[in-house]
Amino acid sequence: MASQQKRGLNMTRVIENAFLSYGKEDAPVKVEVFLNLACPYCATFFQAADETLPSYIENGQVQYAVKHYDKPREMLFYGSLANAFFRLQGSGASLRADEGFIRQTKPVERSRQPFD
C-alpha cells in the first residue's frame, strides 16, 4: 500500500464506465455484456440473448447492460474502431436505450476475413 501511495495511486477510488442499459435499475438480476462489435462470439451471444432475455427485461426481473470493449486484436479492429464513435456522456453515465437501439448495436456475424 505504501508503494502505491508513493506513486500517487488511489486504489480505493471506484472507476465508473458509461454503458447502455435496458430494463429497470432495481432489477434483481444484472446481465453485463462486454461487447466488441466485430466479435463472432458476441454475435452468437446476442442471438441467444434476443431469444431469452426480452421477457425477463419487460417483467422487471433483469437489467441488461452493454459495455463496449476494445481489444487490440486484428480480427476485432473494426469493432474497436466502431466503439470510438459511441458518445457516452460523462464518467459513470448510464445511458438508457430502448430495445431498438440495442438491437441496432448488436454485432453482426461476419463471413469475411478482417482487412479484406
Comparison of pLDDT for 60 and 33, the residue scoring more: 60
Which pLDDT does position 46 carry in this prediction?
82
What's the CA gap between 100 and 29, in Å, rounded? 21
Please name the residues in contact with 28: beta carbons below 8 A apart, sequence gap of 6 or more. 61
- Which domains does the chain show, CATH number per domain? 16-105 (3.40.30)
- pLDDT band at residue 34 using 50, 70 and 90 as cut-offs: confident
| Gap between the Cα atoms of 7 and 59, Å rounded | 48
* Winning range, highest mean pLDDT, from 33-37, 66-70, 91-95, 111-115: 33-37
pTM above 0.85, yes or no: no
Q: CB atoms < 10 A from the CB of 22, how many?
A: 22
Burial level of 21, CB count in 10 A (0-12/13-18/19+)? buried
pLDDT above 80 for 20: no
